Amino acid sequence: MCLQKKSTMKKTLLFVLIAISTLANANPIGKQEAMKLALRFLKQKQSTTSTRTTSQRNQLKMVMQCPNAYYVFNNGNGQGFVITSADDRTDAVLGYAYTGKFDVNNIPVQLKDLLSLYEHEIKTAVRLQLKNLKTASGTRAGLSVKRSIHPLIETRWDQGAPYNDACPMGAFERTVTGCVATAMAQVMYYHQCPRGETLDTIPGYKSPKIGKVLDTLPKTTFDWKNMLRTYDENANREQKNAVAKLMKYCGVSTEMDYATAKQGGSGTVAVELPYALTHYFGYSKAARYADRSGYTSKTWNNMIYEELKEGRPVLYGGVTPTGGGHEFVCDGYESGDYFHINWGWSGLSDGYFRLSVLNPDQQGIGSFEGGYSLSQCAILGVKPNEGEEQLDAMTVIDLHLRGLSQMSRKRIEQGFKGLSMSYELFNYMLLPFEGQMGVGLYKDGKLMKVVHESDVISYEPITPKRTFYKAILKNFGAGLKGDYQLLPMCKEKKSNTWQLCPGAEKSVCNLHITETQLNASIINPQTIDLKLVSIDMPKVIKTGRTYTAMAKIKNVGPDFTGSLSFVFGNKRSVLGLSIAPGATIDVPLSFQPDVAKPKTQYRINVWDSMQDRDIDFVGKGEVDVAEGKNVPDAKLTASVFCTNGSSKKADELYGTHMEGRFEVKNTATDDYDRDLLIAIVGEKQDVQMKQLNAIIPAGKTITLPFVFDNLIPGTRYIVTLLGYEGIYLKGKAICNGAITCKAAVMKYLADGTPVALEPEESIDLTDAIAVDMRDLNVKKGTKLRPSNNPNCLYYLHEGSIVPETLKDKNVILGDEAPKITLQTNQPIRMLSNFTAREITCLRPLVANGKDTESAWTTLSLPFVPDAMKINGQPAELHVYNFVHEQENKLYFNTTQHIEAYCPYLLEIKHIHDATTDMMLTIHGKDVEVNQQAKSVLGSDNYNFVGTIGQHQPASAYLYNAAINRFELSQTPTIECFSAFVVPNHNNDDNAVRSLAVVLDDVELGIPAHTMANASRYAIYNLQGVKVGEGKEGIARLPKGVYVVNGKKVIK
């Protein structure tokens, strides 16, 4: 179940920990190399973001190092972070976020729990030994493409006020909503369903923690129009009541056990969600509960992705080894199987995570307090009811062989007698399952036949009791020889179609059959054999500090998925872990000693979360712990300086961006080694904080720089420096400073630098690529010198007077632009979303001086075009969509439509005269431009990336029309509205120099290696007639499709 244990959090920023891949021999990665990897990754990711500028500056600072495991780098001030590996056996980048910062010393308890949402992973590929479980469909082998999906959920809701305003009162304070209710409410607001009245009354019940009987809730309607995406002090009572009512109905419909934050928060079980959604709120009966343990990582990720692709946010949850749980929303996707998570904490800590740690070629690292998940679950198929029927299927929990696993026969024509197996089943559906169970015989992933069928039986839904299906295969295997698999199947009574049971992938019986022998086997997941190979402890350990040791653990037994306990002195921490057979992985173990003692012992054990005890020994050791000296904050003195303030008044700042520094001196005789907090507090109680570990030698002074963004013009702020430990402020402020933020004209330069300009009669914007004047009223007569960049966007607030010099420019009033014209060979920056009533993009096509029938280019647009012309004439276009890649070949298929935020390969037909330049004009009407949307089609190895603004990635493959291939280029400048290919890895040394292009199964161009060896190959036309040989033969042939060395190529 997914039971909420903690419900409130300190408002801190995001930490992400995701999967790593164990490869061959390991080599350590130093800090400088790790920083290079982080910078390279950021540039690649920024190239997938439409609003990134060509040379956006990334300022990385290492804030955490886990020896031999990973480094954490914060990027600037609140511009996200990157976690890179310290070992080349793993993926170079382990986690990232675009906003916020990594705050290792202030991770909320729930986030620590949530970082452990990876434990209860499935049995590994060793147990499966399957290439594919689906019926063969004749599709080409290769790595399929997934499209980036911008986060679907726009709300940033939470569990406290005003969301809990309608929740019952506890003894002294109001209870909180509970994470299940908050997640459910956000998904319901996304669908805005039900539109009318709810379907039924919701029965009352007794809430155990507060000891109160909750009243039955009558049918009602929800006030969707008065619900806000985010709530602050400006929300009125009607708006607050609207969301509070929705939260109350969500909670009661799932029989929420209400409690206050001090009691650990409200909680319920996620398995109640499908019934509540369908029975009370009018959602599809196809909504179902899915248990993560029943699927391979690939299948599970694909299931979640397909939900998101269909526009359905997924309710997702899990439980930690220590019993904490959380329900949240998975609502977006980026290439590399990064899924966007909305935690339900007012938008804080939202970011991209991997859902799975264990893959056939990947291993996981643990996290701070719990590692990976127990009981991951998801609610699939959540959408308004459109008449769908529930899809009934039994979930398989486990498989046991009964009787003999080795059998003999005299000859191949005979069958084997008495092969027996028992499947443990559970019905997660809303209704009883009525139908048959069966056993399917598979070979190489293809269903051969159903070899056993049960009688028609009925299983009750969602009950604690599990049931069993026993199959005895009599006279089985006549005529069979080779390797096969037996998998559990089911069939509804009303259906003629057998389907694999959910969970079948973990319940595989492998068969090896010879002419006279049958060997049946399954892997016993209960056998545990983990060994501690080594452990890297910090050289100096003192009381009162938090440390991380790196344990190298080897699995010499079968696949292990479970928990480890780490006992240091008298303290225990538990983390989840998944290790494939034979693998050795690095596991970070966090501890905080509180007793100074020589030879303090530590011990690592396998932990049984159900029995709450150690069950198997892994390793042990000892280390000296010294007494940590704490210099009081009173021994610190400091001064504060604003470095980008007004030149006229020291206590004024123009714009919303503040830079400054504290100069801090330690007057004590011992070194200061503790956390400090830099905070900025506005008059409207808007607060931003920066936490950092300060090491100040005795008698020395250090500089602590700070940067704060998104300040509110007209607001007076106090910048303060405080001592800090955990979530507790220590004593009085060390230093304070006051400054008033004033409205300014914000211009953004081509390198991304924001420049705040004081409002004056004349303002020079000639070097800007974007201008923001929404915080002030532009006076009539103000002289604005417009940008020299024709793509510059000018943002004014709704109702502003447009200066005369901007009359024919790209002006956006509020969130609407009457007319936008953009040139693809000039940089562009978008500051926020807007609607363009008319938009035109101009793409110059440079002459190549040759007579040709077609021109090739790449294209990615932020809108769906309604017209495309060449030099004012309608253009005949062939559009190709990236569908998959295989062996450094990119496969494209013809598509009839151009979608927004999707990259394409474009062929412009019948261009006979290419001796003069041409202009491709693309037009659209009433389009919504999303400055955060990604234009990425990604596979395992390569991403096809579309741009809106100009970009300069570290390296990229650019389309070369002369040879019809994507060629590798270093630090190229990518034009606006173009597309390019980047690898999903950072190993430039092994990067291929070019990628072949295959259109509708025909490979374009003649690959370089084919040309080099052309003298060896005969050339045939498509009728099989030999038409030439070698390089000379190729040169003499007319343009067309030929077969060279067994492959179709286009000349």
Whether the CB-CB separation of 955 and 930 falls below 8 Å is answered with: no
Cα separation, 924 vs 817, in Å, equals 13
CA distance 834 to 795: 10
Is residue 324 packed enough to be buried (19+ CB in 10 Å), middle (13-18) or exposed (0-12)?
buried
> Cis peptide before 194, with omega less than 30 degrees from 0?
yes
DSSP 632-654: -GGGEEEEEEETT--SS-TTEEE
Alpha carbon distance 429, 7 (integer Å)? 29
Number of H helices, E strands in the chain: 9, 68
CA distance 74 to 61: 5
Strand order in the sheet with 672-682: 652-654, 728-742, 715-725, 672-682, 687-696
Tokens of 130: 């399957």
Q: Rounded distance, CA 275 to CA 254, Å?
A: 8
User: What does the block give as tokens for 685?
Assistant: 């109680």
Amino acid letter, 975: E
Which residues touch 81 (CB under 8 Å, ≥6 apart)?
Answer: 14, 63, 72, 73, 74, 75, 96, 97, 100, 101, 102
Q: Which residues of 420-452 are buried (b: 16+ CB within 10 A; e: fewer)?
A: bbebbbbbbbbeebebbbbbbbbeeeebeeebb
Q: Are 506 and 293 a contacting pair, CB within 8 Å?
A: yes
Mapped onto helix, strand or coil, the DSSP state of residue 242 is helix
Crossing angle for the helix pair 273-281 and 179-191, to the nearest 10 degrees: 40
CA 446/CA 500 separation, integer angstroms: 12
Q: Which residues are catalytic?
A: 179, 326
Q: What is the rounded radius of gyration, in angstroms, for the C-alpha atoms of the chain?
A: 31
**Distance (Å, whole) CA 117 – CA 18:** 10
747 Cβ contact partners less than 8 Å away, ≥ 6 residues apart = 754, 755, 757, 765, 767, 768, 770, 771, 772
Residue 131's alpha-carbon distances to 513, 570, 660, 741, in angstroms, are 18, 47, 58, 62
C-alpha dihedral, 1005 to 1010 to 1012 to 1018, nearest 10°:
-110
